[in-house]
Amino acid sequence: MPKITIPRPSADEHDPYYAKYIALVPDGDLLALLSAQIEETCNLLKNVPESKAGYRYAPGKWSIKEVVGHLSDTERIFSYRALRFARVDATPLPGFEQDDYVKAANFDARQLAELVSEFRAVRQTTVALFRSFDEDAFRRRGVASDKSISVRALAYNIAGHELHHVEILRTRYQLVG
């Protein structure tokens, strides 16, 4: 399949809530960025000792493990939405409550290395899915959480969501890497 460019979504292609994530994504090749993020994020996390992986920077905040698990869960959901909409499935999709997902997942009972490996696999699957789409697929839209969203907005949101959480890991959790 020929290489395609995924233009930045316009404001009418997503809920205004997602604008903060989409704005974090630099101009350029989105698929290359999504691929590069795998290594950058995994490198950031590889030096975190297991004894520090349960760290929370404030009461009631997620642990490092929970942040990583949240990244995988959210990416799975957004990728699934992208698949459905790219395949012209007009069925409205429900939202999800991220805090309920994190609580039910019990990420703190798992090893950080396992969660990082899982994130790597999820991202690789996301990139493969997006590489399979043509330009028409990226322009398609569907309804999720009672809001219209395009496939390309979902792709940008995935990249921006990770950038957002990596920045939090660097600043509030003080991870270096």
Amino acid at the residue 47: N
Per-residue confidence (pLDDT) for residue 3, from 0 to 100: 79
- 105-128 exposure pattern, b = at least 16 Cβ within 10 A, e = fewer: bebbeeebeebbebbeebbeebbe
Q: Which residues contact 164 (CB under 8 A, 6 or more apart)?
A: 20, 21, 24
Q: Which residues contact 71 (CB under 8 A, 6 or more apart)?
A: 41, 119, 161, 162, 165
CATH superfamily of this structure's domain 11-171? dinb family like domain (1.20.120.450)
Q: Which helix (H) or strand (E) holds 149?
A: strand 147-150
Number of Cβ within 10 Å of residue 79's Cβ equals: 20
Q: How far apart are CA 163 and CA 95, in angstroms?
A: 21
In the block, which residue shows the tokens 């905040």?
A: 61
157 has a pLDDT exceeding 60: yes
Mean pLDDT calculated for residue range 62-88: 98
Query: Are the CB atoms for 65 and 111 separated by under 8 Å?
Result: no
Kindly report whether the global pTM for this prediction surpasses the value 0.85: yes
62 has a pLDDT exceeding 80: yes
177 has a pLDDT exceeding 80: no
16 has a pLDDT exceeding 60: yes
61 has a pLDDT exceeding 90: yes
- Tell which phi-psi region holds residue 16, choosing left (phi > 0), alpha (psi between -120 and 50) or beta: alpha
Instruction: Classify 142 as helix, strand or coil.
Output: strand
Interval 100-139: pLDDT, tens = 999 999 999 999 999 999 999 999 999 999 999 999 999 9
1 has a pLDDT exceeding 60: no
Mean pLDDT calculated for residue range 80-88: 98
Instruction: Dihedral sign for Cα 129, 63, 50, 39, please.
Output: positive
Angle subtended at Cα 28 by Cα 145 and Cα 21, rounded to the nearest 5 degrees: 30
Residue 137 C-alpha from the chain's centroid:
19
